[in-house]
Structure 1
Amino acid sequence: MKETSPREQKRLLLIDDDPNLILLVKDYLEFRGYEVITAENGREALEILEQEQPDMIICDVMMPEMDGYSFVRCVREDPRTSWIPVLFLSAKGQSQDRVKGLNTGADVYMVKPFEPEELVAQVESSLKQANRLIQHQNKSSDGPNKIQVPAEVDLTPTELKVVQLLAQGKANRQIAEIMNVSQRTIESHVSNMLGKTSLNNRTELARWAIESNRA
């Protein structure tokens, strides 16, 4: 079993209406050293978020009362929770389902059934990315020169997702794979955003996304 001190232990919020899956995933993640809070649907999860601030959310898509899409929109709209990484679990594996999930605000989309080891790897990867983002944001806020862009920059939902992934250090090829589009399409989105922001390169674009709280 992974040794984790109480101070280092990461807290995960697991949301699913299938009690068997909740039990299986909770046991596996706790065995790997995580603290796991559970909820049966999005509405119950929002109530938990009023009191708790987990390091990551793992969420089913199709649930009663409030589905995963509606829940994640609420999470992303709340400044207190907008930074939390979200992993979608879904039985729907078509490309349009993945795209919808990612465009809604999820960081990772996994299709059921899945291998528990893959889930743990995705969780660990997302937590590391979030930590790098926080560290980078702290360094950026301490720096003397803030990125300057036009006052009003209007990004499309797709462009916003692309720039969020850029801020996580993803290459165009990786972003294309995540969003299930061609690399040329991602390059076109990046080019459009450089035009809108008058920035010079992907690095400045990623830094601007973090400094403006778009990431």
Structure 2
Amino acid sequence: MAGQLLLVDDEPGLRQAVQAYLEDSGFTVHVASNAHDGWNLLQKTSPDLVISDIMMPQVDGYQFLKQLRDDPRYQSLPVIFLTARGMTSDRIQGYKSGCDAYLSKPFDPDELVAIVESLLERRSAVTKPITDGETPDIADMARQIAEIRGILMQRGAIAPTPAPIQLDLTPREQSVLKLVAEGLMNKEIARRLETSVRNVEKYVSRLFSKTGTNSRTELVRYALEHGLTQ
């Protein structure tokens, strides 16, 4: 999948290597060595996704991400943190700050490409224009909700097993996951949690990333199988 990417990292060697690998994978990559230059480049290029280091001089990745999320133009722009800080507490802080994915150095470049493609596909699905009077994704959403409710009816047949990895779900992500597992749509979840539909979409997207799933049905089945929701 082609796309415009912005890579912000103060390590020249890693920046060049990641840029080359992503360009070989078909992406157009704009690079900056610090958050200030990254912000200026963001205005000029309007990328589809941002990859940012955390530990940078003057303005770190968390501050850069906050600047993005505080701007209405970039509230839903996918952001991947690429960093040497790989402790669980660091990942939690990253997700709480609003990143969509978190990769610790050293990393497998194929995994980075897979995450980029997945986030771009989801963003494309959310922003797909309405054509021929069709309401986007309603039929598919209705099908997924029906499948979720079917899974819930057969819940006893799904034996929970220990999750293969420890997921760092925030309290809000846990609340959204619980309501998705109850078969609620985004508007209903937003109303229940007294937040915006855009925020719910952001949390669902993060849940997809953290669980490696691609649909609400897969997410609910994964949650039930691994005891992530009751």
Which interval holds the TM-score relative to the shorter structure? 0.5 to 0.7
Residue equivalent to 1:124: 117
* Count of residue correspondences: 170
With the length of structure 1 as denominator, give the TM-score of the two structures. 0.67
Residue equivalent to 2:184: 202
Q: What runs of 5+ residues in structure 1 fail to find an aligned partner?
A: 1-7, 144-172, 195-199
The question of 1:51 aligning with 2:37 is answered no
Q: Cα gap change, 1:186/1:20 in structure 2, threshold over 3 Å: closer, same or farther?
A: same
Contact 1:60 1:88 in 2 (8 A): yes
- 1:138 shift after superposition: 5.1
Q: Deviations over 1:60-108 (max 9, x none)?
A: 0000121100001111111112221000011111111001001101000
Taking every aligned residue pair, what percent have the same amino acid on both sides?
34
Contact 2:8 2:53 in 1 (8 A): yes
Using the alignment, how far apart are the partners of 2:185 and 2:106 within structure 1? 37
Please identify runs of 4+ aligned residues in structure 1 that moved more than 3 A. 185-188, 190-194, 204-213
Contact 2:52 2:81 in 1 (8 A): yes
Using the alignment, how far apart are the partners of 1:187 and 1:103 within structure 2? 10
Residue equivalent to 2:96: 103
User: Which amino acid in the other structure matches residue 28 of structure 1?
Assistant: Y
1:127-206 to 2 correspondences below 5 Å? 127-135=120-128, 180-181=168-169, 189-190=175-176, 201-205=183-187
- 1:133 shift after superposition: 1.7
Q: Which of the numbers 72, 75, 91 marks the counterpart of 1:79?
A: 72
- 1:190 shift after superposition: 3.3
The question of 1:35 aligning with 2:28 is answered yes
Using the alignment, how far apart are the partners of 1:50 and 1:32 within structure 2? 24
Q: In angstroms, what is the RMSD of aligned CA positions?
A: 3.6
Q: Deviations over 1:129-180 (max 9, x none)?
A: 1112213x858x975xxxxxxxxxxxxxxxxxxxxxxxxxxxxx9xxx7951
Q: Deviations over 1:106-138 (max 9, x none)?
A: 000000000111111111111111112213x85
Deviates more, 1:19-28 or 1:204-213: 204-213
Using the alignment, how far apart are the partners of 1:78 and 1:204 within structure 2? 23
With the length of structure 2 as denominator, give the TM-score of the two structures. 0.63
